Amino acid sequence: MFLMRFTERAYVAYSAEDVKNSFRSAVRLTFSNAHFDPRLGADLYNEYLDEYEYAEEVGFDGLMLNEHHNTPTCLGAAMNLEAAILARTTKRAKIVLLGNPLPIFDNPVRLAEELAEIDMISRGRLVSGFVRGTGIESWATNTNPVYNRERFEEAHDLIIKTWTTPGPFRWEGKHYQFRVVNPFERPLQQPHPPIWIPGVGSPETLVWCARHHYPYIYLETDPQVTLGMMAIYAQAAREVGYEPGPQHFGYLVRVHVQDTDEKAYEVGQGFLVGNAGVGRIPLPPDFMAPPGYNSREATRRLIEQYRHALRPDPLYGGVDAAGWDKVVESNRVIVGSPPTVVKKLRQVLSVLRPGILGLWTNDGTISHQDTMRCLTLMKDEVLPALREIGKELDLPGPFERAP
């Protein structure tokens, strides 16, 4: 089983009142950058990089990064910069990018060059994930959401051809046109770095992903809904001639470990201001899903799959702090001492059987000190136990068994 560590690298030095006074009371997209202090930002970036470097020392197989724009909930606005730094300062762990939002790039060839450099600097440790991005990313970059999926698929095809076909060649697509494609830098890994696709289960993306034999990483999705999405992937895989296994599936879950259950429960509440932001004020729906972003069929099927799970979510705003009890009880977030965490993760692994497990160790108001303690406890007690569980349940990762 492949174990990777993740955090969204939040910035929380603002108030709920600041958010309420922003345009449409939104913590993303329109929340003024006047609330950002670059001096504090400098400290945070360096702390987050220190944590990722320590995560390799702890024993994680992968260091997962992501990218969002116009938001304090994720300082990874230029994820590839962070990846390039870690490519040089770490030696063993995979650099897992989940992922570059392809539709917002007007020059995918430039992105192919950047990723090739990261792959070479890391000596072939890049895992290049691609995403469609949220609606926020479309708004922030003035990218028409109607063409989001088309741009995603064409940019993907152009990057793959750039990596695998000697240039120069010409590209004349619907959304991208290049007279000369011939970047001199090519990835170290051949034919190209591994590609993983993260998401929350759009049926069209699941089918596309399966047809390309790419592992799909479910981002905190409801366990029962996840099983249904896995079935969609499996059916699409069988249609193109292969039976998917654990190496084709990943799952990301928030996990925070402290010496006692009580301390972990207290500290772990910092997750509540991670994705939702300080004050946990719900986002306007059109910010995340603007008109045209999903097809009608995709929207219908997503609502159908999630109907039983549609409820106020304390991780994204809309309820009071009492909701924290519910997410802990349901294992949406796993907090506790090492024995408690291992026990709960065993339950998740037994049901979902992923070959890739992402542990979202900290976010929001969880301090650097508490994060480092969490990682230390994972090193000594949690990660060794998870590796044994992976062997017991026969959960091979993508690097143990070809995807």
Note the pLDDT tens digit of each residue in 27-55: 999 999 999 999 999 999 999 999 999 99
Task: Tell me which of 212-216, 291-295, 311-315, 369-373 is least confident.
Answer: 311-315
Does the structure show a pLDDT above 80 at 298?
A: no
Does the structure show a pLDDT above 70 at 150?
A: yes
Location of structure tokens 């932001």 = 277
User: Mapped to the 3 state alphabet, what secondary structure does the chain carry?
Assistant: CEEEEECCCCCCCCCHHHHHCCHHHCCCCCCCHHHCCHHHHHHHHHHHHHHHHHHHHHCCCEEEECCCCCCCCCCCCCHHHHHHHHHHHCCCCEEEEEEEEHHHCCCHHHHHHHHHHHHHHCCCCEEEEEECCCHHHHHHCCCCHHHHHHHHHHHHHHHHHHHHCCCCEEEECCCCEEEEECCCCCCCCCCCCCCCEEECCCHHHHHHHHHCCCCEEEECCCHHHHHHHHHHHHHHHHHCCCCCCHHHEEEEEEEEECCCHHHHHHHHHHHHHCCCCCCCCCCCHHHHCCCCCCCHHHHHHHHHHHHHHCCCCCCCCCCCCCHHHHHHHCCCEEEECHHHHHHHHHHHHHHHCCCEEEEECCCCCCCHHHHHHHHHHHHHHHHHHHHHHHHHCCCCCCCCCCC
Average pLDDT over residues 19-28: 95
pLDDT for the residue numbered 285: 85
Task: Tell me which of 51-55, 201-205, 367-371 is least confident.
Answer: 201-205
What number of other Cβ atoms are within 10 A of residue 269's Cβ?
19
Is 2-392 a CATH 3.30.70.3420 domain? no
Does the structure show a pLDDT above 70 at 223?
A: yes
pLDDT for the residue numbered 294: 84
Identify any residues that bridge with 178 across adjacent strands, giving them in sequence order.
Answer: 171
Does the structure show a pLDDT above 80 at 301?
A: no
Please give the backbone phi and psi of residue 99, each rounded to the nearest 5 degrees, phi first.
Answer: -160, -175
The pTM score is: 0.95
What mean pLDDT, rounded, does the chain reach? 94
More confident residue, 278 or 291: 278
Of the candidates 60, 129, 136, the residue with the CA atom closest to the CA atom of residue 99: 129
